[in-house]
Amino acid sequence: MSILVDENTRLLVQGITGREGMFHTEQAVKYGTKVAAGVTPGKGGQSVMNIPVFNTVKDAVKKTKANATMIFVPPAFAPDAILEAADAGIELIVCITEGIPICDMVEVYRYLKNPGTKMIGPNCPGVISPGKCKIGIMPGHIHKKGSVGIISRSGTLTYETVSQLTALGIGQSTCVGIGGDPIIGMRFIDVLELFQKDRGTKAICMIGEIGGSAEEEAAHYIKKHVTKPVIGFIAGQTAPPGRRMGHAGAIISGGQGAAGDKMAVMKKCGIKVCKSPADLGQTVAKNL
């Protein structure tokens, strides 16, 4: 089993006619994802790799019953693309775009509360349920079907974790890259809740980084609500305070968000915390 996406997911791609959008649509199709439609305003009626392109998300949903979207729209237009998808009743939005202004995300976040749309990202690698459905920019071939759920704020560090697991013969139920921005849709807690309920997930690997307090909140949630083993790692143990480490959200500010504090809280709440990122795979193996 898996969470969020599976063989029943019917994917829509917003920005399908752009270079990135087209490339990753092709990768998704090759992986076996059911790509139902694309949207690029003004290019309705065209098709990309035999996938019909529509002018609006509403049209695409009506004609193809798409229920999830992958957004490859430049940062200046991505907030609008998210809102359009939510307005059209899409259940799951995966926004890959990096660099959306934070004031725009404040508005988007507020709007998504009402229809109750789930959003992954922005500034994220996406979500994959190995062997079933891949939405995003992660390399599909490193994954293996199995029972470890992964939640992460990082892209390549998630691939590293996945590849360690796969090398040990341990597969994944679903891998969710929640994104590196300060304001994101689904957070650790939202995904943890789904993994706890999913009967196909036996252990959870949670990869955080400096900045904010989402990991601490997740740790307290885990202590109360999650009975499955959780293995954790925090990137940025050597990061200097006050500097933004690549991700918009990765910053230690006002004495908050340091890796050491997060790791201490996580340990206290019963999470198996790895100090070294190279130990993630082995630690999961020991706790399965």
Partner 1 sequence: MKIHEYQGKELLAKYNVPVPRGILVNDKSEAAGAARKIGGNVVVKAQIHAGGRGKGGGVKLARGAEDAERIAGEILGMTLVTPQTGPEGRLVKKVLIEEGMVIVKELYMSVLIDRQTSQVMIMASEAGGMEIEEVAAKSPEKIIKEYVDPVIGVKPFLARKIAFALNLEGEVFKQAIPFITNLYECFKREDCSMAEINPLVATNDGRLLALDAKIAIDDNALYRQKKSFEYRDLDEEDPMEVEASKFKLNYIKMDGNIGCMVNGAGLAMATMDIIKHSGGEPANFLDVGGGANEETIENAFRILLSDPRVKAVLIHIFGGILRCDILANGVVAAARKLHVSVPVVVRMEGTNMEEGHKILNESGLNFIVANGMKDAARKVVKAIQ
Which residues form the catalytic set? 247
CA distance 72 to 48: 15
The footprint of partner 1 on this chain (CB under 8 A) covers a number of residues equal to 60
Residue from 7, 30, 65, 102 touching partner 1 (CB under 8 A): that is 102
Nearest to 276 by CA among 124, 188, 160: 160
118-120/126-129 β-pairing? unpaired
Question: How many alpha carbons fall within 13 Å on the CB side of residue 26?
Answer: 9
Name which of residues 143 to 182 contact partner 1 (CB under 8 A): 152-160, 163, 180, 182
Q: Does residue 82 bind partner 1 (CB under 8 A)? A: no
Q: Is the dihedral of CA 71, 210, 270, 138 positive or negative?
A: positive
Q: Does residue 249 bind partner 1 (CB under 8 A)? A: yes
- On whether the CB atoms of residues 135 and 33 are closer than 8 A, the answer is yes
CA distance 87 to 240: 41
Name which of residues 105 to 124 contact partner 1 (CB under 8 A): 105-107, 109-110
Token pair of 51 as six digits = 């996938």
Region of 35-43, 62-70, 80-88, 205-213 interacting with partner 1 (CB under 8 A): 205-213
Q: Does residue 238 bind partner 1 (CB under 8 A)? A: yes
Nearest to 104 by CA among 134, 81, 127, 85: 81
CA distance 159 to 164: 9
Q: Does residue 67 bind partner 1 (CB under 8 A)? A: no
Q: Does residue 199 bind partner 1 (CB under 8 A)? A: no
Q: Side chain identity at 157, as an amino acid letter?
A: L
DSSP H or E run through 80: helix 78-87
Region of 7-15, 52-60, 86-94, 230-238 interacting with partner 1 (CB under 8 A): 230-238
Residue from 30, 63, 225, 243 touching partner 1 (CB under 8 A): that is 243
| Helical axes 156-167 vs 280-287, angle rounded to 10° | 50
Q: Does residue 27 bind partner 1 (CB under 8 A)? A: yes
Beta bridge partners, 129, equal 133
Residue from 60, 70, 142, 148 touching partner 1 (CB under 8 A): that is 142
Residue from 44, 139, 171, 200 touching partner 1 (CB under 8 A): that is 139
Region of 3-11, 61-69, 81-89, 272-280 interacting with partner 1 (CB under 8 A): 272-280
Q: Does residue 260 bind partner 1 (CB under 8 A)? A: no
**Applying CB under 8 A, which residues contact partner 1?**
27, 75-76, 99-103, 105-107, 109-110, 137-139, 141-142, 152-160, 163, 180, 182-183, 207, 209-210, 212-214, 217, 233, 235-240, 243-250, 254-255, 259, 275-278
